[in-house]
Amino acid sequence: MRRATCLLSLVVLGLAACARLTDHVVLLPGPDGRTGALSVTAASGEMVLSEPYTGVDVAGGKVTRLSTSAAMVREAFGPLLDMQPPRPRFFVVHFEAGKDVLTPASRSLLANVGTELASLPAGEAVVIGHTDRMGAREFNDRLSLQRAELVRERLVGAGVPRDAISVAGRGEREPVVVTADEVAEPRNRRVDIKLR
Amino acid sequence: MVFGTVHANPDPEWRAICAYCVRSLLVLCLVSAVGAAEMELPAGRVKRSQGSVTVERAGQTRAVEVGTPVYVGDRVRTAADGAVGITLSDDTLLTAGPGSTLLINEFRFNTTTNDGNLLATLLKGTLSVVTGLIGKQAPQNVSFKTPTVVLGIRGTEFIIEARGDGE
């Protein structure tokens, strides 16, 4: 499975306070609790933020460190954060050996994915097909694309516009489970679906 | 050459073949025209919009709604009652609050390798950013600016060094 795509969140606020222009920057933790780091460079120099809810004030080219909290950020930026687009969601469906035929469990999962995608505002899907290492590379390149295209057709059937879905096949290059060549591995016979 | 053949051969069968050739050429022209239009893919798409939100592109201002594509060079403006949420194609989430002007200066993203770069400027207002795949793959290629500061994204390794410096 892929990790969450979020490395860090930050809030930038630039506002004219009194006659002087003051910028604020606040570093936020991601939904998984991990926080990235941020460098803030102004005329007077650079400051690095790496702790969640730390920030800086920038006024007259001067950078001043400031400390906030989850509650303060909620208070000041709640409506802004509520307008964030939905975070991407990831799904995996699996296939029968050597074919573009979904496993029974994946068939019902895919129906739910279609419903979820149709409910997203201006929803888009990125659909990437994969194979295990049975068979020639060229065969697997074709098969992985066929699998991705099958998923696209199902999503179109669920009411998603075709142009909102991008498909690609990566053949046997990106296994979930690394194997020797000519080894059958059900977990690698899959299509990764990202909704956003 | 095709038209020359038509005039030189009044034979109906030739006419049919040549008409077919002309049609094929027309289709080819259309396909390449579509190809040219698709050369510049949108950097992202508007996912949420509230109040009055506009985008300025090539000197023209148009209203923004959910689903509107966002391109490099676009200037997105929210009025006092406006707010907008944009998802870029590397999954970066940009959310601008009321009274904001956001400029997408640079965006390039390769969906196969996750390579690319992003530069955006918040000229005024508020902006929430959740960095995406470029930020994970090549954080040094992602930056945000305001009129007074430049923000750079730093990788995990740098966090450790920065803490050392602080002590």
Task: For residue A169, list chain B residues with Cβ-Cβ distance below 8 A.
Answer: none
Whether A109 has its CB under 8 Å from any CB of chain B: the answer is no
pLDDT confidence of residue A62: 84
| Distance, first Cα to last Cα, chain A | 17
Of A37, A85, A124, Cβ closest to residue B154: A37
The chain B residue lying nearest A34, using CA atoms, is B156
Q: What is the CATH code for A89-195?
A: 3.30.1330.60
Query: What are A143's two structure tokens?
Result: 């098969």
CA-to-CA distance for B137 and B135, rounded, in angstroms?
Answer: 6
pLDDT confidence of residue A42: 86
- What are the strands of the beta sheet with A89-94, ordered from one edge? A89-94, A190-195, A125-129, A165-169
CA-to-CA distance for A124 and A195, rounded, in angstroms?
Answer: 6
Query: What are A57's two structure tokens?
Result: 């004030």
Cβ count near B138 (within 10 Å): 17
Mutate to test the interface with A, among B81, B111, B130, B150 (most CBs of A within 10 A): B130
Task: For residue B86, list chain A residues with Cβ-Cβ distance below 8 A.
Answer: 85
Question: Where in chain A are the domains?
Answer: 9-82, 89-195
Residues of chain B with pLDDT under 70: 1-39, 155-167
pLDDT confidence of residue A60: 77
Inter-residue contact A133 to A179 (CB < 8 Å)? yes
A:B CB pairs within 8 Å: 155
What residue type is A35 in one-letter code?
T
For residue A107, the SS3 value is: helix
The tens-digit pLDDT sequence of chain A (196 residues) is 333 333 455 555 544 333 346 788 888 887 777 788 889 898 888 999 988 888 888 887 788 898 889 899 899 889 999 999 999 999 999 999 999 999 999 999 999 999 999 899 999 999 999 999 999 999 999 999 999 999 999 999 988 899 999 999 999 999 999 999 999 999 999 999 999 9
Identify which of B86, B87, B11 has the alpha carbon closest to the alpha carbon of residue B55: B86
Q: Please list the residues that pair with B76 across neighbouring strands.
A: B55, B102
pLDDT confidence of residue B25: 53
pLDDT confidence of residue A21: 61
CA-to-CA distance for B113 and A165, rounded, in angstroms?
Answer: 19
Inter-residue contact A35 to A8 (CB < 8 Å)? yes
From A181's Cα to the closest Cα of chain B, the distance in A is: 23
* CB-based contact B86 A80, cutoff 8 Å: no
pLDDT confidence of residue B16: 57
Task: For residue B48, list chain A residues with Cβ-Cβ distance below 8 A.
Answer: 83-85, 121
CA-to-CA distance for B76 and B101, rounded, in angstroms?
Answer: 6
Q: Please list the residues that pair with A102 across neighbouring strands.
A: A95
Which uninterrupted H or E stretch holds A12?
strand A9-17
Inter-residue contact B69 to B44 (CB < 8 Å)? yes
CA-to-CA distance for A10 and A13, rounded, in angstroms?
Answer: 10
For residue A19, the SS3 value is: coil
User: Tell me, what DSSP letter sits at residue A129?
Assistant: E
Q: pLDDT digits over B3-22, tens only?
A: 333 344 445 555 555 455 55
Q: Please list the residues that pair with A16 across neighbouring strands.
A: A21
ipTM: 0.87
Task: For residue B45, list chain A residues with Cβ-Cβ distance below 8 A.
Answer: 122, 124
Enter the pTM of the model: 0.80
Q: Where are the beta strands (DSSP E) in A29-111?
A: 37-42, 45-49, 54-59, 62-67, 89-94
